[in-house]
Structure 1
């Protein structure tokens, strides 16, 4: 009597952190609300920048002085909250953090934006706010550099792109082609290898 010996190369199943449906919905609502708040702060920042460029001296200085309020701790806080909730959603769902290209793209956008706020935008707006307060006290004209136009445009565009990625989920899995080639090669080897039979 002959028997066929079968060997499985599949790795053992490991338990992984998963969110309960109720917790996932709560984190998802928080993530969506934080991303929407981020976009709203960008729009307010854009309005203040335009006002600083186009209004009369006193209203322009008041708008410029208010820019630092929106460009420092509110944006940093909401950016970190979006990052934290997105990370929890990724780790607690089938998508993970490094399995799908769209998740990686969102993660990269979030990290880059928060870093730019901390290292670039915040120091510049603090200096602008100081000059604006001096202008309000003395009545002199305020000069606003053209570079202030870019932060609200870049940030709001990146947030909208991240929202779009969440909806359409493009590009598939990371390393999908490599996995398909490996699977095809494994099938070819299995087809060419003789069956192992033991008596």
Structure 2
């Protein structure tokens, strides 16, 4: 009687080396910190413009928004996203293996898209108004939607920070479910050690 054993190759994602991982992690943390700092600067400028009665101060604050928002924020967000993806693919947590990682990934992508497609328009309009106010134009500025980004973005980033520290909710798919999936260890087990007759 001949016994046939079917070997199923196990593939492992390539892990980042210790020094490389530390470098990527440091870059990720710094990018997120810069992003939060830019959000804080935006909040100061926006609420200064909202709260002041001086047209010159309001004009300066609105113009300065162009310097600290949109492209600086997008670069910080994109760097945070890229390093986060590297950490996920090269580490034990993966990208969609754990809920906290998946939620952070979605938050990062959504915030980057909002910077490009929502914030950019609002900042451009505010800056144009700021230049007109600085030139002495007697116009009235209504804050409108520009007050929401300095509230929403830092709140979302703080949620991401909390998720990184506490890592709640566990796996997206429990290990037992993964083993029951087609081609998983549970599917391969009956074939192992099967006698050929």
TM-score over 0.5 (shorter chain): yes
1:69 equivalenced with 2:67 (yes/no): yes
What secondary structure, in the 3-state scheme, does the structure 1 residue paired with 2:25 have?
Answer: helix
- 8 Å CA contact 1:57, 1:141 repeated in 2: no
Q: Structure 1 length normalisation: TM-score? A: 0.84
Alignment partner of 2:38 out of 38, 41, 49: 41
Aligned to 1:13: 10
In structure 2, the CA distance between the partners of 1:177 and 1:96, relative to structure 1 (3 Å rule), is closer
- Rate the CA distance shift 1:159–1:6 in 2: closer, same or farther, 3 A: farther
Aligned partners of 2:66 and 2:127 also within 8 Å: yes
1:146 positional shift: 3.2
Displacement, 1:134?
1.2
Q: Over residues 143-167 of structure 1, what are the superposed CA-to-partner deviations in whole Å (9 max), with x where a residue is unaligned?
A: 1323211101100000010111111
Return the alpha-carbon distance in structure 2 between the equivalents of residues 7 and 113 of structure 1.
Answer: 51
Equivalent residue pairs, number? 189
Q: What is the TM-score with the length of structure 2 in the denominator?
A: 0.85
Question: For the residues of structure 2 that align with 1:6 and 1:144, how far apart are their CA atoms?
Answer: 78
* Structure 1 gaps, min length 5: none
Indicate the residue corresponding to 1:97 in structure 2: 95
Contact 2:4 2:196 in 1 (8 A): no
CA distance in 2, matches of 1:30, 1:198: 56
Residue ranges of structure 2 left out of the alignment (5+ in a row)? none
User: Runs of 4 or more off by more than 3 Å in structure 1?
Assistant: 5-9, 180-183, 195-199
Among 47, 52, 58, which residue is 2:49 paired with? 52
Q: Is the CA contact (8 Å cut-off) linking 2:122 and 2:145 kept in structure 1?
A: no
